[in-house]
Amino acid sequence: MADLFSLLTTSSSSLAAQSGATATAGNNIANANTPGYSRQIANIEAMDTAGSSVGVFIGRGAQLTSVTQARDQFIERQLPQAFAQSGSTQAQNKALSSVSALDPQASGSLQSALGAFYSGLRSLSQNAGDVGLRQSAVNATQQLVQSFHVAAGGIEGTRTAIDSDIGATVDKVNADAQGVAALNVQILSSTVNGQRPNELLDKRQKLIDELSTLTGATPYESANGNISLALPGGTTLVNDSHAATLSTVPDATNAGHVSLRILRPDGSGPYALPSTSVGGQLSGDLTARDGALKSTLDSLDSLAFDIGTALNTIASTGVALDGTNGHTLFTLPATSTGAASSLQVNAALTANPSLFPAGQTVGSSGDNTNVLAMMATEQQNLSTSGKPPPATMQLLTATFGSQASQAKAFAEQDGALVDHLGTLRDSASGVSIDEEMINLTKSQRAYQAIAKVITTADSMLQTLLTLKS
Amino acid sequence: MRITDKMMFERGNAATAAARGRVADFQNQVSTGLRVQHPGDDPGAASAIVGGALAQSRSDAIVKTAAKAQDDATVADGALQGMTQIVARAQELAVQLSNDTYSPSERASAAKEVDGLHSQMVALLNTSVAGRYLFGGTKDGAPPFDAAGNYSGDTNTKQLEVAPGMLENASLRMDVFAKGSGGGVDILSTLSSLSAAMTSGSSSAIEGMLGAITTGTSQLSTALSQNGVMISSFASAQTLGQLASQQAQKGVADAGDTDMFTAASSLAEASQALQASLSATAQGFKLSLLNYMGG
């Protein structure tokens, strides 16, 4: 009798185990497309045997011991670095490919304005006394200045847009870091007898992946199972249940562009966070803004300043139609810093083109010697680049192009690595509906069979009970 | 490798997106005709386009300038031809009237013709194009010669660029060729003197002018020759400039333009690949155990 009753008890726990397996498969199917979800495995084990009245050990059925996540730690450990690298190169590629200021075939490009400026001088050289040609030369000078403004403005605009991007990224980083810290607390308090809340683990992992992409942070596990995060420079971003807070401040030494600050998890700070201490998207944004874009802008400033200085030096020695001298072509800043944006045409020339210093002899309206000297600057080396203006323009375009091309290639390469590792992670942790349907059927069949055992045991009990009557 | 449903969907997404991206790239190349739009597309080609565009602009400007300079030199040539004829007529009159058989009235009449020649010479020396006087050096805003033959131009020679960095004279020193500055004869003064000699009726005085007239003819001949060199030089500058411009334009096109045959064939290829990708993705989605499990 006792064995038949224990058979009912055993079947009950076995039914619960199969029911749990069915529920796990159902949960997996429901989350097949949930981002960050790792498939769960219902671990069913045979219950310990016990002695019976017939003197042999008979099994006591099955029990659901745990529901665990399918994760491949080998792959998981490679992902943060890949996310960080890809985040960085993607950000650089996005920034550099968005710059159209140096597009070689765009209408109104800087090189076409430079060409038009020298063409204007050539036309004037043929008839230096012609006021109309002087007006054209002044117009071409204005066009050149305008093109410098547009090119520099385009690059500076991209740098400013990156500032906004950094601001938005910082907000997201702070929210994610707070999320990881809060989940650490939740996960620790929800863990009972080693059973961990898988959905919370998934949520935390998703935030960690995002933080790796945004900041290059690397996760490390504490003894209590909490995940902390460290930035590439070693600064702690999340320490157990406490998260750092990033912020941005305008940097006066970098034309007001934002720099990063950090309020550490222990509440100290805020301290300056150098660009070398972050990775991921933030690093990519800062590298593009203060690297390729800044150096291109500097080269543009030098080009504007050097051309302007060379032409002004010649212009100031020339004479205008009215015989006055000392008229420069451009109003220039004292140094090359910001020259491409602040360069202006001498307002006196704009107001009165006959002041264009075309010659060197007073009273000789057809004297074009100063125009010829200005034209010669097209072939003369500039002080910063050591090359003539056209070659400097070519070098500037090629250098920026190489940086943009390299960023694109690295972004594709790093993106492919992330895709590859993501595929491997998905292979280990993703849900296969075919597989889950089979698991579902398997647990359904087992459930049906166990139900049959209960029916059989019940029938046997009925038989015993009818013996007495 | 274990294949999951998410992998299949994501692969489908990635594969079709990549195939569509390639189709869009080639469509853009075919529709714009441009292979290089951003410096990052091909840094070397972008640099070549910039260099080529600047070289083309420079050559085009040189061609235009040289064409105008040639026009000026052609006008100057006509004026110099006229001056040569004037001096030739003066010489003819001098030879003719140095003969004692001519009467004072005939000589006075000849003197008047020489005075007329003087005026014509001054007019030719004040030849202008659109208000710009060709024979005053770089002082071209006012007539360089007054009625008496005094020169008020300067002693500069205007130069123009005929090739990048190469200059060619674009004006004649008429203070030298007409006024004899630096050792020649003053043709205008010679004409005045000839007129005076004819008026005075002195055969020997008239005959004495022949040497100066011959030198003047030689000066004008040299001027014509130099002007011819200028015309030829500016014509060459245009020819070479046009060639350089075409070459630069070809360089820009080679570097940055789409090879239509290649792009069109690549577009067709990419379209096929997209079709294949869409078909393979759709086929992959059809295969599911769900389709074989009865309800």
**Tens digits of per-residue pLDDT, A356-381?**
999 999 989 999 999 999 999 999 99
pLDDT, residue B6, reads: 82
- Bigger pLDDT: A99 vs B284: A99
Indicate whether A465 pLDDT > 90. no
Distance of CA B278 to the CA centre of its chain: 58
**Taking Cα atoms as reference points, which of B171, B162, B187 lies closest to residue B139?**
B171
Measured torsion, CA atoms of residues B219, B220, B225, B226, in degrees rounded to the nearest 10: 70
Residue numbers of A between 126 and 145 with CB closer than 8 Å to B? 126-130
**B256·A104 Cβ contact <8 A:** yes
Neighbouring residues of B253: CB distance < 8 A, sequence distance ≥ 6: none
Q: Does B14 contact A at CB distance below 8 Å?
A: yes
**A376·B165 Cβ contact <8 A:** yes
Which helix H or strand E contains A246, and what residues bound it? Answer: strand A245-251
Query: pLDDT tens, position by position, for chain B (295 residues)?
Result: 888 888 888 888 888 898 999 999 899 888 888 889 999 999 999 999 999 999 999 999 999 999 999 999 999 999 999 999 999 999 999 999 988 888 888 999 999 999 999 999 999 999 999 999 999 999 999 999 999 999 999 999 999 999 998 999 999 999 999 999 999 999 999 999 999 999 998 889 999 999 999 999 999 999 999 999 999 999 999 999 999 999 999 999 999 888 888 889 999 999 999 999 888 888 887 777 888 876 5
**Taking Cα atoms as reference points, which of B26, B82, B38 lies closest to residue B265?**
B26
**B289·A437 Cβ contact <8 A:** yes
* Sign of the C-alpha dihedral computed for residues A105, A107, A110 and A113 taken in this order: positive
**Tens digits of per-residue pLDDT, A195-253?**
889 999 999 999 999 999 999 999 999 888 899 999 998 999 999 999 999 999 999 99
DSSP class of residue A282 equals H
Give the pair of three-digit tokens for residue B103. 């009467």
Q: What is the mean pLDDT of residues A51-67?
A: 79
Q: How many CB atoms lie within 10 A of CB B291?
A: 7
Indicate whether A193 pLDDT > 80. no
Cα–Cα distance for residue pair B57/B7, rounded to 1 Å: 55
Give the pair of three-digit tokens for residue A325. 């001298």
Q: Does A376 contact B at CB distance below 8 Å?
A: yes
Cα–Cα distance for residue pair B199/B104, rounded to 1 Å: 8
Neighbouring residues of A145: CB distance < 8 A, sequence distance ≥ 6: A330, A343, A344, A345
pLDDT, residue A61, reads: 87
Contact by Cβ (8 Å): A117, A143: yes
**Tens digits of per-residue pLDDT, A259-297?**
999 999 999 989 999 999 999 999 999 999 999 999 999
Core vs surface per residue B65-79: b (16+ CB within 10 A) or e: bbebbbebbbebbeb
Give the pair of three-digit tokens for residue A77. 């450990």
Question: Helix, strand, coil proportions of chain B in percent (round to 5)?
Answer: 70, 5, 25
pLDDT band at A1 (very low <50, low <70, confident <90, very high): very low
Indicate whether A50 pLDDT > 80. no
Q: What is the mean pLDDT of residues A450-455?
A: 92
Which of A31, A105, A303, A385 is best to mutate for the B interface (most B CBs within 10 A)?
A105
**A105·B132 Cβ contact <8 A:** no
Nearest Cα of chain A lies from the Cα of B57 at a distance, in angstroms, of 6
Query: How large a percentage of chain A has pLDDT more than 70?
Result: 98
Q: How many CB atoms lie within 10 A of CB A444?
A: 15
Question: ipTM of the assembly?
Answer: 0.89
Q: Does B60 contact A at CB distance below 8 Å?
A: yes
Q: How many CB atoms lie within 10 A of CB B95?
A: 13
Q: Does B284 contact A at CB distance below 8 Å?
A: no
Length reported for chain A: 469
**A368·B65 Cβ contact <8 A:** no
DSSP class of residue A48 equals P
φ/ψ of residue B34, rounded to 5: -115, 130
Residue whose structure tokens are 């007495």 = A468
**Taking Cα atoms as reference points, which of A441, A410, A308, A428 lies closest to residue A89?**
A410
Nearest to B290 among A376, A390, A437 (CB): A437
Q: What is the mean pLDDT of residues A414-418?
A: 94
Q: How many CB atoms lie within 10 A of CB A272?
A: 12
* Sign of the C-alpha dihedral computed for residues A92, A94, A100 and A104 taken in this order: positive
**What's the one-letter identity of residue A60?**
R
* Sign of the C-alpha dihedral computed for residues B2, B5, B11 and B16 taken in this order: positive
Query: How large a percentage of chain A has pLDDT more than 90?
Result: 85
Q: Does B132 contact A at CB distance below 8 Å?
A: yes
Give the pair of three-digit tokens for residue B53. 């565009």
Q: List chain A residues with CB under 8 Å of B256.
A: 104-105
Cα–Cα distance for residue pair B249/A44, rounded to 1 Å: 77
**B57·A118 Cβ contact <8 A:** yes
DSSP A143-189: HHHHHHHHHHHHHHHHHHHHHHHHHHHHHHHHHHHHHHHHHHHHHHH
The count of CB pairs under 8 A between chains A and B is 207
Nearest to A104 among B39, B58, B69 (CB): B39
Q: How many CB atoms lie within 10 A of CB A137?
A: 27
Indicate whether A334 pLDDT > 90. yes
